[in-house]
Chain A
Amino acid sequence: MDIASLTIGQIRKGLSRRSFSAVELAAAALGFAEAENPKTNAYLHFCPERALEAARRVDEKLARGEDPGALAGVPVAVKDVICTKGVRTTCGSRLLARYVPPYDATAVIRLEQAGGVILGKTNCDEFAMGSSTENSAFGPVRNPVAPERVPGGSSGGSAAAVAQGTAVVALGSDTGGSIRQPASFCGVVGVTPTYGRVSRSGLVAFASSLDHIGPFARNVRDVALLLKVIAGRDEMDSTSAFAPVPDYVALLDGQVRGMRVGLPREYFQGLASETGDLIARGIEVLQRLGCEVREISLPHTDYAIACYYIICTAEASSNLARYDGARYTLRAGGAETLIDMYRSTRGEGFGAECKRRIMLGTYVLSSGYYDAYYLKAQKVRTLVARDFSEAFQQVDAIITPVSPFPAFKLGEKLDDPLEMYLSDIYTITGSLAGIPCLSVPCGGTAAGLPVGMQILARHFDEAGMFRLAEAFERAGGVSG
């Protein structure tokens, strides 16, 4: 058994043939992950007791001849912005370094009910704000493919764990690209589902109208299976959708002939780079598979970043107001008045990027600026979303790059926040529209750095998105 390359299918076979027990697998996976973790800092902490207990339940079900669940025995990593009862959930922040949630996120409950084994919690940018995982209060994550480079962010720890083989699948969260961009940087598959597809109950809020929980895996089949397990209506999140969740894996039939695929011209202008060349080769593969490729236009693309960073910072400034020194573990010493306690706790607890976003969000919501910035951005969001609904009248899926460039060096972009924001251009538009998006590996640069191809689909058409991604993967991607 090669732990670092296991698939869900291999685990199912191994358990049913009694080649290993779930407890044996959990113990081996924990040992491997703990030994390998210093190379990347992907995990912030492990939860061995919880993992072994979950594995024991799987073995008991197997012994009784019961169905142990779709994720039986599968080692899972969970981003540390997703609440785990009794297991620290720090959000990569000093402020929550000692926070132990009194409840589980719905996605966590569902994946454990399906037999999943949570090994530990993964590192991320503080409160999921960042594109490199360098904003973690607990040190950056190194990209397992190129240790001097970032894994992307903000779900960099989850992407790195799956790429490194210290988890078979992982949960991340995505507000403007925080699953897809690290998936592309680390060479794994990452999915941002339709807004409302997966309950946000237990996901620590950053920007509520944009936040998603989504899965990572090393192949499309596994990522689709994990999404099936965690998706669906949850009465703990009133924005979660009632739409039925299809059996995504059963629908992976490789049939993409005649599928209409759109290439937004605004995304490919001036993309003369290794990334552009690899995406172009990816598109050729789709054509060989029988997809009908055509150029489309998403005319408001150029306004998406300004729109997104107004909305997400406004929502963040409101969501992060709860960290006031009264309720969540950290309180600065010496405060004599309530206001003093708020201000010094927040001043000490938040890192630079969180402060910057709280400041921006407070500014755009403040009296005299609300209409000019926040309301204006909400109107532009309508235009960006409308671009997609018009495009999806002509095509079934849209193909774009995930990031303008592959993984960059640690520290390379830390000094220029605006430049870091601008690099989110390809992922932000889909987030604003709330459509499902996925990053699938699309070869590597001459230096061996992975590049991801993004597939976007209509609201709730994850099945079509997975079918296209899996056909691409089955054809060998760009090296096939």
Chain B
Amino acid sequence: MKITEEQVRYVADLANLRLSEEEVRRFSTDLGQILAYMNKLNELDTSAVAPMAQVLYEAEETAVLREDRPRPVLGAEAALANAPVGGGGFFKVPRVIER
């Protein structure tokens, strides 16, 4: 299977990933090889099979909604402590709205 360098650049844009020219070349080969292997799944007829998004097992009915009660929260200071650039209770990023 052939994945062109143009396709690699398109996917990298979707993934918000800047790649070097060397990486683009490398991934064009790697992705082609790996996806060719993955095409093996087409040998199977799955038209009558339901997709599995989550591990399911025989179990009692589980209440996945917990009780809604107030509890201590992290707080802005702790939540922002790892921000590369922060201040005033916010994560700071390059300007996105023109005045």
Contacts and interface: CB of A to CB of B under 8 A. Distances in A.
Interface string B52-95: 11110111101010100000001000110111110000010110
B18 A376 contact: no
B58 A459 contact: yes
A327 interface: yes
B60 A242 contact: yes
A363 B53 contact: no
Interface in A60-75: none
Contacts, number: 165
Interface stretch (A41-49, A112-120, A341-349): A341-349
B17 A359 contact: yes
B18 to A, nearest CB: 3
Given A329-B84, A379-B51, A418 B59 contact: no
Interface string A372-392: 010111111111010000000
A421 B38 CA distance: 12
Given A241-B59, A306-B38, A382-B50, A340 B83 contact: no
Given A376-B46, A421-B34, A326 B14 contact: no
A368 to B, nearest CB: 11
Nearest to B67: A235
Provide the main secondary structure of the chain B interface.
Answer: loop
Interface residues of A, number: 75
A355 interface: yes
Contact of B41 (A196, A377, A421): A377
A317 B27 contact: no
Contacts of B31: 356, 359-360, 363
Interface of B: 3, 8, 11-12, 14-20, 23, 27, 30-31, 33-35, 37-44, 46, 49-55, 57-60, 62, 64, 66, 74, 78-79, 81-85, 91, 93-94, 96
Given A241-B59, A417-B34, 19 more contacts: A103-B74, A196-B55, A209-B53, A306-B37, A326-B93, A328-B84, A337-B94, A344-B18, A346-B17, A350-B17, A355-B19, A356-B30, A356-B31, A359-B15, A359-B27, A360-B35, A362-B15, A378-B53, A385-B52
Interface of A: 98-100, 102-103, 194-196, 209, 235, 238-239, 241-243, 300, 302-303, 305-307, 309-310, 317, 321, 324-331, 335-344, 346-348, 350, 352, 355-356, 358-360, 362-364, 366, 373, 375-383, 385, 417-418, 421, 433-434, 459-460
The 3 lowest CB-CB distance pairs between A and B, nearest first, are A434-B55, A347-B18, A378-B51
